[in-house]
Structure 1
Amino acid sequence: MGRVLNRLSSLAYLARPLALAFVGIVLLSLGAAYFLIAAYREVPLPPVFYFLTLQFLEARWIRGLILLIAGGGVLLVGMWQLSGVVVIPLHASASGEDELVVGYRQAAVSPRITALSGGAGILILANLGRYAQQLMCVTPLQDPVEYYYRAASLFNFENVIYVVPTPERVQVDVQLNDQTHHNVKHVPHDEQLAAQHVADMRLTDSQGQAINVAVTRQTIDSLRDADAIILGPGSLFESIIPNLLITEIRETIAQSKAQTIYICNLMTEPGLTTGFSVADHVRQIIRFGGFAPDYVLVNAQRIEPEIRQLYETANQMPVYLNPEEYEETIVSATDRRVTHDVVVEGSIVIEADLASSVIQSVASLEHPGAVRAVRVLRHDPEKLTSAIMGILRRS
């Protein structure tokens, strides 16, 4: 009942014009009735009027009651449909009586979203909580969950819950293409490994032995009940794929009917994804996760030369979509526009402006102990939220 009253309350600003319109309709109906009575008494009418005027019913009060019920029903339907608009008074106008009427459509239920992202990526996605019924963030395997709880209390995120994937202490061991083994957290910081990339990986204990990892029930429930599962933003091999190496997580995602969305990295990672294209990133998810994401979001923003040069000195390059990797193009038509989507490795790739440059303090190589401000590229929370919600609406 409250939902009905809330919707009908949108007609508050139209109460007076609706009342006047109703009175006008009544007067028009009375005028039409007089003409019909005169015609009925003085002019021979076609047989169809016998049924239209319900003359086959002897009691006239029954005829009137039926017409009143039918008219009232039609009026209620019209009022209900009219309540599907927002009426905004334009108080800034000279008369103060102008109104703007805007049609709207709102989803009956907000989506349930589960995200497997990197540390900073989870905080970026927290903006989605405003539009989701529930946003479950599965933390990276090697990150302490206390960090996220402190961040949540600091920023007061809405509808965001952080979930630990496993109660065990786990390490992520990667084998690079030079056949050496390393803890994945150490690779990006070793300049001698910058030209390498990951060839294989596994989960190990503190002794370096491969292990089968137990998963928390809350993680499985969040993946099973999700309407959308988001991978990223975050390091492909450090944050996203390690969770996919857990058998139960991998199988739950494979059985889920949720839309899967992978947010591709803005830049390659030295020693991990050196030389990788968008398709290479997707292939690794297929290889280790056993599925191709339904959608892949790729940043299409032009990177300024100053920022690009900064990343090149750190052995990082932008991750772009290679036209040679296109498998097919899908033309999707909606009630608002026609989109041309590119399919790569079985995933629909959507290019959009997803990033913004921000000022960040970094250590100076020339003067140890000193810091300098530089512009770096980061996923923009608002742009990313808009792109994700756009995918969920079209799906």
Structure 2
Amino acid sequence: MTWLDLAADDPFGVHNLPYGAFDPGDGSRRLGARIGGQVLDLAALERVGLVEAHSTLQATTLNPFLALGRPYWTAVRDRLTELLTDPAFRDRIQPLLLPLAEVTPQLPFEVGDYVDFYSSLTHATNLGRLFRPGAEPLLPNWRHLPIGYHGRAGTVVVSGTDIVRPSGQRKPPDADAPTFGPSRCLDIEAEVGFVVGAASSLGRPLTTKDFHEYVFGVVLVNDWSARDLQAWEYQPLGPFLGKSFATSVSAWVVPLDALASARVPAPQQSPLVLPYLADERIGYDIRIEVVWDGTVVSRPPFSGLYWTPAQQLAHLTANGASVRPGDLYASGTVSGRERDQVGSFIELTWGGAEPVTLADGRTRTFVEDGDTVTLTATAPGPDGTVVGFGEVVGRILPAVS
């Protein structure tokens, strides 16, 4: 029990303690841990000797701390828990707490590499039916390996960053030739992202058993997608300009240790996977909510993901590719079996054929200029608590003319 005045059901209680970066109002960047509606200044905490992390908490991003590895992640988390639960530390800690409303969240880590997977069976089936009508929805390789693509790390942005509508080539099926202009089918993808901490060696693949030692924590991801650009360009090499213009992530990285109570059995796989992908079939009960201009339109369940985060990490490095602190890999769109559980608007409106009516009476097929999309999520915590992930907010600005 913390000595802070927090509600028992606060999703950012001492059982969570997600890490992030923030601007306290003077243009600088500091590292912090969120507790309730406040941010604990980790740089100041280390300067006064209340925590030891080899000065990595003095950095402006989490990357140096991530590089320390699992023993330090656990030790610092245990120490923060002690400082926030033992009343003996109250007078020394309180001056280091800043109101969340008075700081500006920053991108919490420098993204080294970004990989996006395609791991929801329902989502892959839905898009197969939309993109390849009349054909088998799943391509022959889908059940044998986690499909993914290498994204653009430089356009990963923190929640709250406005998104400029992308332009590119698009060619409707009934057109004779492509045209260039702003995307007319701008979409979202509700995903869960995994932040790599420890580095691996080039040429040494990781196994599914390495997941807990190499992955530090979890963020929410909105992988913005220009579906008309994507449909024209994606064959034969896959996503490119339809994806690379922006990917939004939440400001707070929830430590993997905070999600121990959210572990659930993952769906069984058929056919059996190759030995390097065999795992314990452990997923996470993360419940996402998608809000479109103030209207809840979907609640995708992450627990049903076909390919687990451990399998994704193993496949990502199976060819000997290395990972480094700050690498990010995302689950791909999370979609459940029901229409109100899908994680993209192309599924929600079935390619635009079935518009959604918002609470104020407006109808939508894809995201329009001025629209705001917000993703939030929670997971079960210990002893009946709830773990919060914060939010991913993005507002669409018109294309640059």
TM superposition score normalised by structure 2 = 0.25
Q: Which has the higher contact order (CA 8 A, sep 6+)?
A: 2
Task: Please state which structure has a larger fraction of its residues in helix.
Answer: 1
The structure having more radius of gyration, on CA atoms, is 1
